[in-house]
Amino acid sequence: MSLMGQMMHMPLMISSLLTHAARHNGDVEIVSKRVEGDMHRTNWTEVELRSRKLAQALDRLGLEAGDRVGTLAWNGYRHMEIYYAVSGSQRVCHTINPRLFPQQVAWIANDAQDKVIFVDLNIFPLVEKLAPSLPALQHVVLMCARENMPRECALPHLHCYEDLIAAEDGNYCWPSFDENTAASICYTSGTTGNPKGAVYSHRSTVLHAFAAALPDAMSLKATDTVLPVVPMFHVNAWGLPYTAAMVGCKLVFPGHHLDGASLYNLFEEEKVTMSAGVPTIWLGLLNHVKTNNLKFSTFKSTIIGGAACPPAMIRTFENDYNVEVIHAWGMTELSPLGTLGRLKSKHADWSTEDKQKLLEKQGKSVYGIDMRIVDAEGKVLPWDGKSAGDLEVRGHWVISGYFNIDKSPLHDGWFPTGDVATIDPDGYMQITDRSKDVIKSGGEWISSIDLENALMAHPAVQEAAAIACHHPKWDERPLMVVVKKPGAEVSKEELIAFYKGKIPNWQTPDDVVFVDEIPHTATGKIWKLQLREKFKDHKLPTA
Ligand code: ADP
């Protein structure tokens, strides 16, 4: 007969992160650049108290356990209060990406059956427009004070956020319930079809926060000041509002002010040490510091993921600005953390160049995530750093199904990511492509990421995207779509010649087109689908 452990059973509740932060690090600041234009300062004690009041307000609005509460908001303290109030009171926080097309926002809000939507001032016109097509919607809460409320509004159930909070006394105890209860929902950005909802639980969120805080993961400490550039509407800002509460560090929220100059000023004024975001967002910041000959005085490290981080960007950050880049891979379905580029002790004697090369990969699994690669028949492939296959994962914060979809996405108990990867004998994973983005040339695969990374190292190139273009003989051949750096001049031939020695000759792109702008998805990734559509009739010079 087995002997049971005799430890307290305390369900892993998201509210416990906030109560811990308030009790043990209550005076640590939360700073937000607001939509209203000013800077706002609060701390963990205040956020916890206001979250309790907001939970009372949700009771008063008649919301029941399990009801979905939508948010259309930028990164800020009010958005974080909503996270905690909604999940902590057993409702489900549904963050919606305001950059999606309005029809998509409506589709998602209807699929989730949001009863309430919290919205930032400058996104309110979108909600006003969509409200008639959202039958489940009962209340709209404008995230502002009374003086910012619109004078005229056709919406019947419009509330003022600060009024809702002011009406409550905070006499509220965070309830304890089954840790597997839904806490939040995030929809995938729909780059691969209709958006699908990933439903996170209290348990998965708290475990993810533990793992993210680890030294070889995001390495968050009480002494850090963290500025999440990654939006709170996409995979809960990679869990940073939870991990920050767990370790009790200072948070700085940029609101919607994400241009290079605004970010730089915020980094300096608030003495930010650590940040996180997708590659495209850093282009603006790096351009700004370069053009104005600036340096960072406190910024030490940043997590870059969500799309392949070009090695040239890692080197610029590290060599020119002394900022360590941790390349990370994850996805909505993984809450999102999967792997991170971190060294092992065996690499201590490696040359700087070899270490850099290794850290350009997407990295090794954090505890809690296991991975494997399989071929088209589902056969498991070796970890030899060469065999490329479909990447599959499983773990404590990986979805087992999608919201409202009966069919299981799992394959043999594993979640197929849709990414193609290699894994080396030390467990370092490298994404070679998303399966639908690989360029299939005469039966051989060309990695669009390799082609993009190589060109991003050219001094005249601001951004590059590789897409498959139809070819009569090879079926598909690579076409590069390129944005030049402001003021830079470079020819198609020079760029093609730039590939020499960097990739196998047969993979060299057949053509380059210059554009003013590369389209990005609502989550900041290169929008390959749209590029393929735009260049579907492009005639390659080799055809
Ligand atoms: P969506 O799938 O809706 O676009 P996600 O943000 O969940 O949104 O995207 C996850 C995908 O992003 C991964 O499956 C992978 O293709 C890509 N991705 C994330 N991080 C990286 C990375 N470091 N390198 C390459 N691709 C990445």
What pLDDT shows up at residue 373? 98
- 174 in catalytic set: no
Residue 370 CA to ligand 1 center (angstroms) comes to 17
523 pLDDT band, cuts 50/70/90, is confident
Look up tokens 């993961």; give the residue. Answer: 217
How is domain 324-434 classified at the architecture level of CATH? Roll (2.30)
Could you tell me if 66 and 91 are in contact, meaning their C-beta atoms sit under 8 angstroms apart? Answer: yes
Residue nearest to atom 10 of ligand 1 (CA): 331
- 333 in catalytic set: yes
User: With 90 as the cut, is the pLDDT of residue 515 above it?
Assistant: yes
Quote the percentage of the chain above a pLDDT of 70: 99
| Start and end residues for every CATH 3.40.50.12780 domain found in the chain | 14-257
Q: How far apart are CA 416 and CA 398, in angstroms?
A: 11
Residue nearest to atom 13 of ligand 1 (CA): 331
Mean pLDDT calculated for residue range 375-399: 96
Quote the percentage of the chain above a pLDDT of 90: 90
Which member of 295, 344, 357, 440 is catalytic?
440
What pLDDT shows up at residue 192? 56
**pLDDT, tens digit (0-9, with 9 covering 90-100), for 269-296:** 999 999 999 998 999 999 999 999 999 9
**pLDDT, tens digit (0-9, with 9 covering 90-100), for 220-278:** 999 999 999 999 999 999 999 999 999 999 999 999 999 999 999 999 999 999 999 99
- 445 in catalytic set: yes
Residue 434 CA to ligand 1 center (angstroms) comes to 8
**pLDDT, tens digit (0-9, with 9 covering 90-100), for 294-325:** 999 999 999 999 999 999 999 999 999 999 99
Poorest-pLDDT segment among 180-194, 195-209, 365-379, 445-459: 180-194
Type of residue at 483: V
Measuring from each residue's beta carbon to the nearest atom of ligand 1, which residues come in under 6 Å? 188-189, 191, 305-309, 327-332, 362, 417-419, 431, 434, 523
SS3 state of residue 415: strand
Mean pLDDT calculated for residue range 188-213: 90
- What is the CATH number assigned to the segment(s) 14-257? 3.40.50.12780
- 357 in catalytic set: no
Within 8 A by CB and 6+ apart from 135, the residues are: 110
What pLDDT shows up at residue 190? 61
**pLDDT, tens digit (0-9, with 9 covering 90-100), for 22-67:** 999 999 999 999 999 999 999 999 999 999 999 999 999 999 999 9
Type of residue at 56: Q
Which member of 333, 360, 392, 463 is catalytic?
333
Q: How far apart are CA 378 and CA 48, in angstroms?
A: 48
Within 8 A by CB and 6+ apart from 542, the residues are: 471, 477, 510, 511
521 pLDDT band, cuts 50/70/90, is confident
User: With 70 as the cut, is the pLDDT of residue 344 above it?
Assistant: yes
* Ligand 1 atom showing the smallest separation from residue 331 Cα: 7
Q: At CA 448, angle to CA 443 and CA 450, rounded to 5? A: 110
**pLDDT, tens digit (0-9, with 9 covering 90-100), for 420-462:** 999 999 999 999 988 889 898 887 889 999 999 999 999 999 9
User: With 70 as the cut, is the pLDDT of residue 191 above it?
Assistant: no
Pairing of strands 511-514, 475-484: parallel
Report which of 454, 465, 442, 462 is spatially closest to residue 532, judged by C-alpha positions. Answer: 465
Q: How far apart are CA 352 and CA 455, in angstroms?
A: 22
Q: How far apart are CA 116 and CA 49, in angstroms?
A: 21
| Start and end residues for every CATH 2.30.38.10 domain found in the chain | 324-434
- pTM for this model (two decimals): 0.92
Name the phi and psi angles at 464, rounded to 5.
-140, 140
Type of residue at 199: V
- What is the CATH number assigned to the segment(s) 439-534? 3.30.300.30
